[in-house]
Amino acid sequence: MSPPSVQSILERDRLQDLFDVLHRRGYTVIGPTVRDRAIVCEALRAASDLPEGWEDVPEAGSYRLRRRPDKALFGFTVPTNSWKEWLHPKRLKLLGAGRDGEGNLHFTPGDDAEPPKLAFLGARSCELHAIAIQDRVFLGGTFVDPHYAKRRANVLIIATNCGRAGGTCFCVSMNTGPSVDGRRTPFDLSLTELLDDSGHRFLLEAGSQTGTALLDELPVREVTTRELRAARTLLDNTASQMGRSLETQGLAETMLQNLDHPRWQQVADRCLNCANCTMVCPTCFCTTVEDVTSLTGDHAERWRRWDSCFNLDFTWMHGGPARQSARSRYRQWLTHKLATWHEQFGSSGCVGCGRCISWCPVGIDLTEEARALRAP
Amino acid sequence: MPPKPKLAVWKFASCDGCQLSLLDCEDELLAIADAVEIANFAEATRHFEPGPYDLSLVEGSITTPHDATRIREVRAQSRRLITIGACATAGGIQALRNFRDVREMASVVYASPQYIDTLATSTPISDHVKVDFELRGCPINKRQLLEVILAFLHRRKPLVSAESVCVECKLRGNVCVMTAHGTPCLGPVTHAGCGAICPAYDRGCHGCFGPKETPNTAALAAQWKTLGASPAEISRAFRSFNGYAEAFRIESLRHE
């Protein structure tokens, strides 16, 4: 049973209190900030690190920051990087191996440190859905990823409703946003930024016992009916602003029935097979395993790191890579993401965050590709 | 104890930067000297041991008739031959001559060009002899050099990925300079290995490591055009340290 919904208002100038409460509880706050002319998620020290007065303009193959007329802190859409890097590390030591003085082989554990307690501040609805997908990938099957499991257990989520959609957003099509829904994607606290004539404040809602306890420690006041209505209107507006759309009805079948569609070659002609889309995708999870040895040859380590189905080595088997052409690699990625993912993990692998569109150096748009595949 | 493998370092037309990467392995240098016998390495010692050698590291490109003969001698004395750097794997910056008439250039540069004994082209080592592994970069990355030596010592495949520089950018946490800043960048077609240095300092990739596996240079060039690069700029970008590597050479010619 989910805890009763508790909604309260926290004023903008008391947002630092949220950081203080989280820090007292031993959490490192991971959230959005401005770096290198983009919104990136990283460890934040204080509320003043948040991207005040900035918004992003994501388009196909292009991303720009611009000043907002107001001082909104969450006025952007999604950060350049997704939260997956804190749950599914880019690089991870799996084990060490060595020989003792008598030549006996012995193994040492890899990264077995207790993961830090992290508070994800600003995770959007699409991103919560992405985390839920990776939960199914890493925790849902017969083989549970212990590295993901222990990190995931230490994360507190402060979800954030979207007050604005970007040019590459299509969460409405994917039924993953823009408002967070605790029944589908649990959170500890949700936050809706309200900025109008009556001031700059946050509507907070507890979604767990921890969230309720956090609210108890914060200088919040009761929410007014007018503020609840403002929040509702804001989210309705966001839902109507989606820059992209994707018709998902019958999409999986269409794609799998069109594996020889000429469009695959057309997109391959544009595709750089650079792997950016898979790196920024919040659900892509593939890794490779690499062994390193010491100069003396008495010590070896096994490391796991992010890999991509766009890399040739990804399908290297005896004799060479199975998917040599860019066409076969792009097709593999898109059909997995939008079609076979359903069969494998019970949902689409796409949450409509739009990152693969914005961060593709040549602006390949998967919604456009999916549409083209429907045409004969 | 079995004798240590003999290592030789050879120089052809090059700046010596790549072989200096070996000396640059400061912390590991003593361990390397323990693991192999450095039998020929003019940048490090005048001591010279005759061949044959277990591992030859070859730097530089073939630009003279004498080079073309000497590389065959090196190959004949080497159990394994690994080329290091853009000169040895792609002809280097001196392969710019391959796009011009070298005699004409020599007549402009030298007061007495009749003394210049040179080939019309600067070519990679693999155009002349069998090469066991090519390590990319201008200059090479010393970590990768160490990895290649290690892999040789332990008889395994070197862990050198041919993926794009983009992957290194993402692993490093760089914001993409091409999409976020509109900076033309060669990263999407360039072989990983440097650790994405230039984008980390707010610059586009210069392609020092040459073409990646299956590079789509035409699609990248089209995007450069959209970002405002002129054909001459595109041609020049592809035609630098690795300009004679096939994919970069073809793309540079397309925009000439």
Q: Mutation test of the interface with chain A: which of B27, B154, B178, B179, choosing the one with the most A Cβ atoms within 10 A?
A: B179
Q: What is the pLDDT of residue A376?
A: 79
Checking A255-258 for CB contacts under 8 A at 24+ apart, the result is A255/A334, A255/A335, A255/A338, A255/A339, A255/A370, A255/A373, A256/A335, A256/A339, A256/A340, A258/A373
| Among B153, B179, B212, residue at a domain's last position | B153
Residue A224's identity, in one-letter code, is: T
Nearest-neighbour CA in chain A from B141: distance (Å): 16
For residue B168, what are the contacts with CB-CB under 8 A and spacing of at least 6?
A: B192, B193, B194, B195, B196
pLDDT digits (tens, 9 = 90+) for A64-114: 999 999 999 999 999 999 999 999 999 999 999 998 888 899 999 998 889
Residue B158 lies in a domain: no
CA B211-B215-B216 angle, to 5 degrees, is: 135
pLDDT digits (tens, 9 = 90+) for A320-333: 999 999 999 999 99
**Cβ within 8 Å, pair A361-B216:** no
Domain residue spans in chain A? Answer: 6-92+114-239
Residues of B in contact with A275 (CB under 8 A): 163-164, 166-167, 170
pLDDT digits (tens, 9 = 90+) for A322-372: 999 999 999 999 999 999 999 999 999 999 999 999 999 999 999 999 999
Is pLDDT above 90 for A297? no
Nearest-neighbour CA in chain A from B188: distance (Å): 5
Q: What phi and psi, each to the nearest 5 degrees, are found at residue A307? A: -130, 180
Name the residue in chain A with its Cα closest to that of B149: A295
Q: Does B178 touch chain A (CB under 8 A)?
A: yes
Residues of B in contact with A290 (CB under 8 A): 159
Across the interface, of A275, A290, A359, the residue whose CB is closest to B179 is A359
Q: Does B49 touch chain A (CB under 8 A)?
A: no
Q: Are B94 and B87 in contact (CB under 8 A)?
A: yes
B189 shares a domain with B102: no
B98 shares a domain with B14: yes
B120 shares a domain with B48: yes
DSSP readout, A202-217?
Answer: EEEEE-SHHHHHHHHH
Nearest-neighbour CA in chain A from B209: distance (Å): 15
Q: Which residues pair with B164 in a beta bridge?
A: B191
Q: What is the pLDDT of residue A5?
A: 58
**Cβ within 8 Å, pair B163-A276:** no
pLDDT digits (tens, 9 = 90+) for B123-178: 999 999 999 999 999 999 999 999 999 999 888 889 999 999 999 999 999 999 99
Is pLDDT above 60 for A3? no
Q: In the sheet where A28-35 sits, what is the strand order?
A: A38-44, A28-35, A118-123, A155-160, A189-196, A199-206, A6-11, A221-222
Q: What is the pLDDT of residue A133?
A: 98
In tens digits, what is the pLDDT along chain B, a chain of 256 residues? 678 999 999 999 999 999 999 999 988 999 899 999 999 999 999 999 999 999 999 999 999 999 999 999 999 999 999 999 999 999 999 999 999 999 999 999 999 999 999 999 999 999 999 999 999 999 999 999 999 999 998 888 899 999 999 999 999 999 999 999 999 999 999 999 999 999 999 999 999 999 999 999 999 999 999 999 999 999 999 999 999 999 999 999 999 9
Q: Does B144 touch chain A (CB under 8 A)?
A: no
pLDDT band at A6 (very low <50, low <70, confident <90, very high): confident
Query: B192 lies in which domain range?
Result: 165-254
Across the interface, of B154, B170, B216, the residue whose CB is closest to A279 is B170
Residue B160 lies in a domain: no
Residue B49 lies in a domain: yes
Cα-based distances in Å from B125 to A159, B60, B71, B230? 57, 8, 8, 33
Nearest-neighbour CA in chain B from A100: distance (Å): 18
Rg over alpha carbons for chain B, rounded to the nearest Å, is 19
Across the interface, of B167, B178, B187, the residue whose CB is closest to A279 is B167
Residues of A in contact with B154 (CB under 8 A): 293, 297
B132 shares a domain with B11: yes
**Cβ within 8 Å, pair B214-A312:** yes
B19 shares a domain with B71: yes
pLDDT band at A277 (very low <50, low <70, confident <90, very high): very high
Residue B80 lies in a domain: yes
**Cβ within 8 Å, pair B175-A35:** yes
- Joined together, the tokens standing for residue A134 give 């990776």
Count up the domains in chain B and report the number: 2
Residue B87 lies in a domain: yes
The proportion of chain A whose per-residue pLDDT surpasses 70, expressed as a percent, equals 99
For residue A201, what are the contacts with CB-CB under 8 A and spacing of at least 6?
A: A9, A10, A11, A12, A194, A195, A227
Q: Which residue has the tokens 């919604």?
A: A367
Q: Please state which of the ranges A140-149, A290-299, B116-125 shows the lowest mean pLDDT.
A: A290-299
| Among B153, B188, B221, residue at a domain's last position | B153
Residues of A in contact with B188 (CB under 8 A): 272, 274, 276, 361-362
Q: Does B32 touch chain A (CB under 8 A)?
A: yes
**Cβ within 8 Å, pair B164-A326:** no
**Cβ within 8 Å, pair A361-B223:** yes
User: Do strands B78-84 and B133-135 pair parallel, antiparallel, or not at all (unpaired)?
Assistant: parallel
Q: What is the pLDDT of residue A62?
A: 97
Is pLDDT above 80 for A1? no
Is pLDDT above 50 for A24? yes
Which CATH number covers residue B137?
A: 3.40.50.700
Q: What phi and psi, each to the nearest 5 degrees, are found at residue A181? A: -130, 105
Q: How far apart are CA B129 and CA B56, in angstroms?
A: 13
**Cβ within 8 Å, pair A295-B34:** yes
pLDDT band at A2 (very low <50, low <70, confident <90, very high): very low
B178 shares a domain with B144: no
User: Do strands A299-306 and A91-99 pair parallel, antiparallel, or not at all (unpaired)?
Assistant: antiparallel
B230 shares a domain with B170: yes
**Cβ within 8 Å, pair A276-B220:** no
Q: What is the pLDDT of residue A288?
A: 97
| Among B124, B153, B182, residue at a domain's last position | B153
Is pLDDT above 90 for A296? no
For residue B231, what are the contacts with CB-CB under 8 A and spacing of at least 6?
A: B225, B255, B256
Q: Are A212 and A220 in contact (CB under 8 A)?
A: no
Q: At what angle do helices A146-153 and A125-139 cross, to 10 degrees?
A: 140
**Cβ within 8 Å, pair B166-A90:** no
**Cβ within 8 Å, pair A293-B154:** yes
B132 shares a domain with B208: no
